[in-house]
Amino acid sequence: MKLGCREFFNSVAEKWDDMCCHDTEKINRILDMAQLKKGDKVLDVGTGTGVMIPFLQERVGEQGYITAIDLAENMLKIAERKYRTLNVSFIHADITTADLDGNFDLILCYSVFPHFKDRLKAIKNMYRLLKPGGRILICHSQSRKQINQIHMNSPSREINRDHLPPASVVGEYLKEQGMKLLAEVDSEEMYVVMAQKMHNGNKR
């Protein structure tokens, strides 16, 4: 049986943390670029089993707030089981259509962007949910080549097609919304694209 993207992640949720290894040093380097502050409000898109939650909590503190969203409900249940704290909420939803309160300081997409079926629609909705001056951070702690190879070798036919485009292409998606590009890294070490919503809402 061929599994779709959501079905695939639901099927591997219980063993996902054993299947994946994340480079803590690279994650911290990526989050350093985001310049999070105590009290910031973060949307963790495609949180999965909550890999990024402890890193984010450390930076925003008890005064901050994290909203963790995922399309795969089994992954989300594990994240909630691991990190049920006062300043984290868990929402089962699709980022392309999610209707949240918004006004986020940072919207983080860690190891999830290739799985968006409608990338432009997702970016437009994330842009809507940002406060003026807020940032969208799309990133992986592996190279684009590594990510695409992993997906090509996936047992899921849907995942096979989930390729990560060059950072320059994603940067253009963000700039088309009128955002200011802050970082664009597409190296053998990692993949990072970050842009900021302009305060006046106008094009660059």
Amino acid present at 34: A
Q: By the 8 A CB rule, do 92 and 71 touch?
A: yes
Average pLDDT over residues 155-174: 87
Residue 197's pLDDT is 97
Residue 154 has pLDDT above 80, yes or no: no
Measured CA to CA, the distance from residue 157 to residue 155 in angstroms comes to 6
Average pLDDT over residues 97-120: 93
What confidence tier does 20 reach under pLDDT thresholds 50, 70, 90? confident
Measured CA to CA, the distance from residue 60 to residue 51 in angstroms comes to 16
166-174 long-range contacts (CB < 8 A, ≥24 apart) are 167/191, 167/192, 167/193, 170/113, 170/138, 171/195, 173/119, 173/120, 173/123, 174/123, 174/136
Residue 17's pLDDT is 66
Residue 13's pLDDT is 74
Residue 16 has pLDDT above 80, yes or no: no
Residue 85 has pLDDT above 90, yes or no: no
What confidence tier does 204 reach under pLDDT thresholds 50, 70, 90? very low
Domains of the chain (ranges; CATH) run: 5-196 (3.40.50.150)
What confidence tier does 171 reach under pLDDT thresholds 50, 70, 90? very high
Over residues 55-68, the pLDDT tens digits come to 999 999 999 999 99
Closest listed residue to residue 119, CA positions, set 77, 173, 79, 82 = 173
Retrieve residue 161's tokens.
């097609």
Measured CA to CA, the distance from residue 29 to residue 31 in angstroms comes to 6
Over residues 69-82, the pLDDT tens digits come to 999 999 999 999 99
Residue 203's pLDDT is 47
Residue 201's pLDDT is 53
The dihedral of CA 159, 18, 21, 71: what is its sign? positive
Element (H, E) at 110: strand 104-110
Neighbours of 9 (CB within 10 A): 24
The HSE-up count of residue 162 (CA atoms within 13 Å, CB side) is 23
